[in-house]
Chain A
Amino acid sequence: MAELFGRLGTMVTRRVWQLGYAARFFAYVLMHSGTALRRFGLTIREMYFAGVMSLVIILVSGLFVGMVLGLQGYETLQRYGSSEALGILVALSLVRELGPVVSGLLFASRAGSAITAEIGLMKATEQLAAMEMMAVDPIARVVAPRFWAGVLSMPLLAALFSAMGIFGGYLVGVQLIGVDEGAFWSQMQASVDWRQDVLNGVIKSIVFGIAVTWIAVFEGYDATPTAEGVSGATTRTVVTSSLAILALDFVLTALMFTGGNAR
């Protein structure tokens, strides 16, 4: 019995210790980001691998999510005679929640795991050690560019996801089902506030980008330099990032969308 508590205690302390270590790592990456920003070509290269290569999955998923929203939304709304509110439903769902969250999850599983695997493998094949031996800081040269590439790519991907989704909702709602096109767009424009909804969605995606990329580079850098170590780190990146996105989404939504007038 006592052993059980002991093990629980060790698990908790280990997690807390790891969190502290991860936080120090984050601070170190930020402090040594000079190279990544001065030699922007490095960051651009990583943006290609993280952002551009994720475009296909983001656009296709966005389209399908939007189309499903259009279908399901219509089914429910037309029962209350409010099928003209379809535009509002699709737009708000995407811009406020689904855009940042789903694209964040997709980014974590595609680009996040790739970053972790890459850094982990570089560690396992001693490439990071070789870099240090040549007096080049691997965190400045390898880790920081990937971090900033992720942070910069995420809001763009989320915006494209939402845009594709709204287009998908339009395709299904207006073209396929026959909701009035004018009502679709005008009601949407009347209800979606660019500051309250769109901007907040962008802020969410930036926060998610920071969280996902931080976890990805940390897990890669911290991985045990063996095959199992790298594969375990990759899995952990996807799992931890996904949980972090969902938890942060709740916190941000609570902060942003609880309304309130006179502040």
Chain B
Amino acid sequence: MKRSTIDIWVGVFVAAGFVGLLFLALRVGNLTFSTSQTYQVQAKFANIGGLKKRAAIKSAGVVVGRVSDIHFDNESYEAIVTFNLDSQFKFPRDTSAKILTSGLLGEQYVGLEAGGDGAMLRPGDRLRLTQSAVVLENLISQFLFNKAAEGKDEAKTGKYGK
């Protein structure tokens, strides 16, 4: 086996392997060489539910940025989420952020609803209006509690005939 033939074939092999990897990363996965700049803003949530880093931030259903960081604030006992927003999109200072679920049981993402304020958010600003994620257990326990409360009222009224 000639040395040069081996070298050629190994070169082809390595090149093909890298092409495969690139295909997987770009075409199959979501690697983007985002040349666009981003700016950061923050928001506090009482409960982030299943929100993960790199989750999408959408406004009107279009992706305008990604969640870059999530951590717990030990003073206010709330979650502080940092958003990386695409620089070409500017939002008013009174924009609200909600944690929504795509589909019924899908991934969670942040939905931004623009407010009416004339001034825009600057890098480092914090969004004032936030709505936490809906936690299924809380919903259920609330429902059960309401049901139990109704039943107790009836029982009280019935027993003492008020």
* A interface list, Cβ under 8 A from B: 41, 44-45, 47-48, 51-52, 55, 91, 95, 153, 155-157, 159-160, 162-163, 166, 185, 188-190, 192-195, 197-198, 201-202, 259, 261-262
Contact = CB atoms under 8 A, between A and B. Distances in A.
B46 interface: no
B28 A192 contact: yes
B13 A55 contact: yes
Contacts of B30: 189-190, 192-194
Nearest to A262: B70
Main secondary structure of the interface of B (DSSP, over half): helix
Interface residues of B, number: 33
Interface of B: 1, 3, 6-7, 9-10, 12-14, 16-18, 20-21, 23-31, 48, 50-54, 70-72, 79
A156 B20 contact: yes
B140 to A, nearest CB: 22
Contact of B24 (A55, A157, A198): A198
Going nearest first, the 5 A-B pairs with the smallest beta carbon separation are A156-B17, A194-B29, A194-B31, A159-B20, A163-B20
18 contacts: A41-B7, A44-B7, A47-B10, A48-B6, A55-B16, A155-B17, A156-B18, A159-B17, A162-B20, A189-B28, A194-B25, A197-B29, A198-B21, A198-B31, A261-B51, A261-B70, A262-B70, A262-B71
A261 B52 contact: yes
A197 B54 CA distance: 13
B3 A198 contact: no
B6 A45 contact: yes
A52 B21 CA distance: 16
Contacts of B14: 47, 156
Residue of A162, A163, A202 ringed by the most chain B CB atoms within 10 A: A163
